[in-house]
A and B are shown apart, each in its own frame.
Chain A
Amino acid sequence: MTTPNRIILDKYLRHNKKFPHIWCPGCGIGIVLAALLRAIDRTGWTKDEIVLVSGIGCSSRAPVYVDFNTLHTAHGRALPFATGIKAARPPLKVIVFTGDGDCAAIGGNHLIHACRRNIDITTVVVNNYIYGMTGGQQSPTTPEGMKATTATRGVIDQPFHIAELAASAGATFAARSTTYHAKELESFILKGLEHKGFSLVEAISQAPVCFGRRNGMGDPVEMVKREKELAIPISKTAGMTFEEKKDKIVTGIIEEREAQEWTDLYAGVKKTAGEE
């Protein structure tokens, strides 16, 4: 039985925080945040044991609105702060909420090393292909040919595929879904939260004002529909070439495996050191 959104919002939003939020009308970040809150609700964790950490950018403004221990760090640095919290106090449930620029550009090195450590942190990346807060500059995930204020003739750099990047860097859970597939997104986030080790869920999202408008993608509804059209489950990608997959959104669980987790391993180091 799923809890209605209204109950979830009432339970987890901060009542002493002045709304409205800063996101543009039609932005997908709220859909991703709601999916996260529903997933958290299904874990049964208490609000006191959860730490929600973010960097800088539109999506990184999310923590201020929700009633956990919340930490809005510097640009790109959510994962180092989160690593320090988790390593110093392993019982805490540490979740990072970040965006494509924050996580994969300025924070890219931290991302791959957090994956490599397999430390028990769940990272939710809102990938809307653009720097929204600064008004629409190209990000490391902007598809080739798309326009941004710093690529008015079209992006020429190859984009990162964040979930695959995380998996190849050692993340033991990596998945991708979209704001159209909000229920699937919620279930992937829940799997990530319950996974022991570093988990990353990439949420493809719409930025109608800073990205869609400049690229002729129509209103927010059309943008979300486009996600549905481009989505292809990973189960159906067998045999597809890189070129064939390039313009699709591959959804599903990209990596899921068991491996020893950092704080568990370090507990072992402490035990050995204490006995020496």
Chain B
Amino acid sequence: MYKEIRLAGSGGQGLITAGVILAEAAIAGGHEAVQTQSYGPEARGGASRADVIISDEAILYPKARKFDIFLALTQEAYDKFRGDLAPGGLLIIDSDLVDPAGDRGAKAVPITAAVKKNFGERMPPNVMALGVIHGMMPLVAERKLLDTVKNRVPQKSVDKNVKAFKMGIKMGKAFVDQPAAPSNDADL
């Protein structure tokens, strides 16, 4: 296996934690994994990204180059960190917050809206996003992911996050077999 994943959004959405969870679960599953990040000076806001590479061999260059998964939760992060998808790569965007412009085949999922609706304004969307990814393209065993989520999120919000993760998986699975989002080409 060799997969490159980029999780892009704004500071405070917890995407670096999501990357850490993914990498940690991969290691628990016996793979090699590297997680790197790029971020601005802000603790909240600003475009940030986490890259995760999961492989069965030693990982040399640690940043993602051709994404098997590119997830974008804000327009700014989408515009800033969008790069090439690997063949068969998945483009996942937040349907309310990101306009994929000409990108055909973007899976537009209302992640942020679903998190807010079910868990309130203060819950970050990161773990549900992990669920969505897992629903669309499982990279590591669900059990390992779930265990890692439980270890990495704040103690008092474990239950909420487990729920969000499972909800995300359902949303992701539902999308896999659906036709691609309509292209905006016709509008141009």
Indicate if A touches B (C-beta under 8 A).
no
